[in-house]
Amino acid sequence: MAFMRYRALPRGELTAEEFRAWLAQFDADSDGRISREELRHALRSLNVRFAWWKARGGVRAADADRDGGVQLGEDEVARLFAFAQSHLRVKIAQLGYY
């Protein structure tokens, strides 16, 4: 696979839509969902430690319909957003944490 530069996660507080837009770029096979492997790439781009392990946890937390990936729709992205907030210290605008 060619080396790709990903757009950085915006600094400061994020909305769910900003988070979804950022996440969508990692949908390498354009199937409308983020697989565990794609999520690992997303986490690696943030220099997150233990990206493989956290990607597994993130998919588990967000994959409501148990198809093995995170659908890029509202529901599962919202679940992943909640996971990111508690495990990755992503700042969430809507919930007003931090």
Binding stretches for Ca ion (CB under 5 A): 27, 29, 31
Q: Work out how close the CB of 24 gets to Ca ion at its nearest, in angstroms, rounded to a whole number.
A: 10
Q: CB of 66 within 8 A of CB of 27?
A: no
| Sign, Cα dihedral of 59, 77, 90, 24 | positive
Q: Which is nearer to Ca ion, 41 or 54 (CB)?
A: 41
Mark out the alpha helices in the chain (DSSP H runs): 16-24, 36-45, 51-62, 74-88
**Measured between alpha carbons, how far is 21 from 72 in angstroms, rounded to an integer?**
9
Q: How far is the CB of 30 from Ca ion (least distance, A)?
A: 7
Would you say 32 or 94 has its CB closer to Ca ion?
Answer: 32
In the complex, least distance from residue 69 CB atom to Ca ion, rounded to whole angstroms: 6
Looking at the Cβ atoms of 18 and 27, the one nearer to Ca ion is 27
Closest CB 58 distance from Ca ion, rounded Å: 14
Given the complex with Ca ion, which of 8 and 29 has the nearer CB atom? 29
The CA-based dihedral angle spanning residues 85, 37, 23, 3, taken in that order and rounded to the nearest 10 degrees: 130
